[in-house]
Amino acid sequence: MNDVIDSSLGSDSATSAVDALPGQVGQTRRPFSGLGSTVTGTGTTTGSWAESTHSVIWLTRGGNRLPLARVGRRSWGTNLISVAVIALTSLIAASNLLDVYGSAAMWAVAAVPATLLGALIAYAGTAPALRLWWQIVFLIVAQGVIGPVIALNDTAISHVIPSVETLSQGFVSTFGAFKYLIAVPPPTGSGDGSLMAAWTICLWLSFLAGVFAIGDKRQLSVLSLLPIAIELVVCALLGTQTGFQPIASGVLIGLIMIVWLSWRWQLLELGRWISATIILLLAAGLGVGACMVIGQSRLILRDYYDPPLSPYDYASPLSGLRSYVKDHKDDTLLTVTNLPEGTPVRLAVMDQFDGNVWNLSDSTEASDSSDYRRVGTRIPNTVDGKKFTATFTIDKGLSDKWLPLAGAASSVDVTSAGKTGGANGNGGGESRSSAGHTLFYYNESTQSAIIPAGLSTGMTYTESGIIAPTPTDKEIAKANAAVTNQPGTKDVPDSVGKFASSVAGGEDTAGAQAQALVAQLKDSGWFSHGLTGDYPSLPGHGSYRINALLAGSAMVGDSEQYASAMALMARELGLPSRVVMGFLPKNDDGDISNDRTETVNGTSTVKFTGNDIEAWVEINLEGYGWVAFYPTPKETKIPDDNQNLTPPNPQTLVRQPPVPLTDPLRDEEQAHGKSALAGEDATDEPAASIWSTIGRIAAKVAIYGSPVWIPLLICLLILALKTVALARLRRRGDARQRITSGWQAVHALAGQSGIPVTGTRRDQAQAIARQLNIDGAPLIALGRQADYAAFSGQPVTPEQAGAYWRSVLTTRKLMLASQSFMRRLRTRLSLRGVFHNVRILSSIRTWRHGDKRKPDGRQPAKQRPVKRKSSTKQPAGQKPATQQPSARQPSSQKGRQS
């Protein structure tokens, strides 16, 4: 019998076998006869709920349904649905890598085809000829050939046929891509074969989940949750702190798997969609609520791997400034195309002064100039300004480890870097990645980069970035200093503080102080590199050299000394400052000029020489960020022995008068409430302002943070559910069924009102009228019409059903209006009988199509035999003859004879 059922259904909808008892056709054997209930063949019980074929107790106590492991093979459509569910949940789990790659399209290039391939390879196992060994072959081809072609598409022949380089780098990137994702801050882009990580994760875990999902033993399908959970955890560990909608992704995976497993185990009943929807909504609400209550904190492997570069591994860049001018003054060191006119190109940024040199700060002291981290082809960038894409070419002579960049970089393609050898001619050595890309480290705070392999002649790379707008002099003069964490300066000479306070101590804003320092240094200082033929000028920028500049016999130097002096004076005034070294497109006076840029056929080009290397100062101003200041005098301001080169005496400098204090009691423009010393004229505006602020805050807290929203939402959900159930009763079925359902709506409202209603419809109508103290005539009329529709056998038109329901709705309003406010509120929120009405509706529809059970699920009563009087008298002592059942009469009918 079991085989017949399995083969006839051919899917997961196979039902339990029916073991008929003598005299009980269509009834299944009760697993526990002592409970005194009868289980019908349609799965409806009379008696204990535990005997229901839909209850958990029945499933676990040995009901007659076929064991899950014994269900026959499913159809191809069922397996395909399971595979599709696995592919969908796998992609949702892998969405944690969206922020890592920085682009949904880039992530989809690897994740979507890998997931689909893994699921299809698992589905191929349904064919015995393709099972196991062919699946292994498919996986090897997908991992070793298809994956590298997609992740390393630039190395493939015509972007389609894998080359030897594609296969070799694909094999290395299968494992190296995971290290790359951990080492490089997101977004990493697709460089260095990083897409192989997403490909590997999605391919193998979707395959394993698919194998469990379509297995022959249905109870083992729950194991498909394990690969999905592993994928979710792995992608979270490789992802970011925020992730891509982590709460929504987790809840969505949970809901999808609940529905799918219920369908997979044949526990899902579409007829109970309302209760199923409520359960899913409650599960989603609990999941989201729990996530909102619990603090969101993730363990990210990237935070425990590859610390920033140590600044002590690199000498001070500023110390080598004069050597570039000496050795390559007129030599082209850097060529840049398509760079906006007048844009500086920076090499290094320094914010720590130890008394000898300016250098990068230690990461334990500041998270600014020391925070160089390995990056991929894409770099996070939140700067607003002018976008650009420029190409840089390193010429002979520029062989340091500092990568020239302009503005705030969004992406840097250094694929071609290092192919002609590093700074030492070793090709970069260990500083080159497995995919041939030169490793470089970028500092988002200072917008500068380091290449450990060093620059090399002929190196070409492309930068896409944003140049922030420069504030005007008036805007700078009004700006205050921004709060910045910087290391302290050491061994600063006293002349620095005296010079700074005498020049800018009277200014009231940080911007004005910085402008005063720049103006004084340019006006009092003289320019000289100290080269052959120049006026003597010592190199260096330590304490001794700065003291000689500000308090010596001659205030002469170049940008190395003036930038160092201004940065130290700014620190003495409490301004956050740092020294920047780079290239400036300057004219003969040393000022930035747009004329240095040449444009030919729409392509602009600027060539920087050794003489263009400059040092300047940046000060962090509130609202504008790090603003550049150039304190070096004009390069044409050359000293000679006939001029007075002595720096100004701080005591002779005229200090600007301080800002006069205003009397708040007499300043009508600044005082909001004028008052006398005694206070008799004071207004209460400040107090009113405070109380209004408190009131606004309290109102917002009451509106948005009140826990009243939770029960209110539950009440609204209940009202919506009851409205849907009532509408379903009113519209479903034929006219006769709709009339019967109408009385059920009245009966349910009475039960929700707390009225015990039993007996016939007339008895129920009288009980309702008596309990609610209302006129019983309309109720009795409704009950009589329902009886007529149910038992008369006469046709009922839809118009009659519509008129009946209008009377039902009027009667329900009358019943509600007769109740007190609190009782009416309880009635409206009561769910008693809501789901029972839906079941009754389904039973009535089944009964109308041939099942002779009553709408409440009970079997119709057996009719007593009718005794007919015979026209002839029987002889005395002889029993009346009875009709014998024929041989063809079913045994069940025999049992029904009197």
The DSSP 8-state label assigned to residue 418 in this structure reads T
Instruction: State pLDDT tens for residues 441-456.
Output: 888 888 888 888 888 8
Q: Nearest to residue 815, comparing CAs of 775, 787, 762, 756?
A: 775
Q: What is the spatial distance between Cα 156 and Cα 167, in angstroms, rounded to a whole number?
A: 9
Q: Which is more confidently placed, 7 or 104? A: 104
pLDDT score, position 868: 46
Q: What is the spatial distance between Cα 831 and Cα 722, in angstroms, rounded to a whole number?
A: 8
Q: What is the spatial distance between Cα 448 and Cα 769, in angstroms, rounded to a whole number?
A: 86
On whether the CB atoms of residues 549 and 646 are closer than 8 A, the answer is: no
On whether the CB atoms of residues 296 and 240 are closer than 8 A, the answer is: no
Q: pTM here?
A: 0.49
Q: What is the spatial distance between Cα 328 and Cα 612, in angstroms, rounded to a whole number?
A: 10
In the structure, what pLDDT confidence band is assigned to residue 438 with cuts at 50, 70 and 90? Answer: low
Q: What is the spatial distance between Cα 609 and Cα 715, in angstroms, rounded to a whole number?
A: 76
Q: Is the pLDDT of residue 255 over 90?
A: no
In the structure, what pLDDT confidence band is assigned to residue 527 with cuts at 50, 70 and 90? Answer: very high
Is the four-CA dihedral 809, 815, 820, 826 of positive or negative sign? negative
Q: What is the spatial distance between Cα 176 and Cα 93, in angstroms, rounded to a whole number?
A: 22
pLDDT score, position 442: 86
Q: Is the pLDDT of residue 709 over 70?
A: no
Question: Which of 555-564, 780-789, 871-880 is predicted with the least confidence, judged by mean pLDDT?
Answer: 871-880
Q: Which is more confidently placed, 302 or 556? A: 556
Query: Mean pLDDT, to the nearest integer, of 301-322?
Result: 72
In the structure, what pLDDT confidence band is assigned to residue 28 with cuts at 50, 70 and 90? Answer: very low
40 token code pair: 């019908």
Q: What is the spatial distance between Cα 745 and Cα 477, in angstroms, rounded to a whole number?
A: 78
pLDDT score, position 305: 67
Q: Residue 468 class from Cβ within 10 Å (0-12 exposed, 13-18 middle, 19+ buried)?
A: middle
Q: What is the spatial distance between Cα 192 and Cα 647, in angstroms, rounded to a whole number?
A: 55
pLDDT score, position 653: 58
Largest interatomic CA distance in the chain: 167
What Å distances lie between residue 446 and 315, 351, 441, 623, 627, CA to CA? Answer: 17, 10, 12, 17, 12
Q: What is the spatial distance between Cα 424 and Cα 428, in angstroms, rounded to a whole number?
A: 8
Q: What is the spatial distance between Cα 80 and Cα 266, in angstroms, rounded to a whole number?
A: 17
Q: Which residues contact 349 (CB under 8 A, 6 or more apart)?
A: 360, 369, 443, 446, 447, 448, 578, 579, 580, 581, 618
Q: Which is more confidently placed, 19 or 75? A: 75
Q: Alpha-carbon Rg of the chain, whole angstroms?
A: 43
On whether the CB atoms of residues 501 and 573 are closer than 8 A, the answer is: yes
Q: Is the pLDDT of residue 855 over 50?
A: no
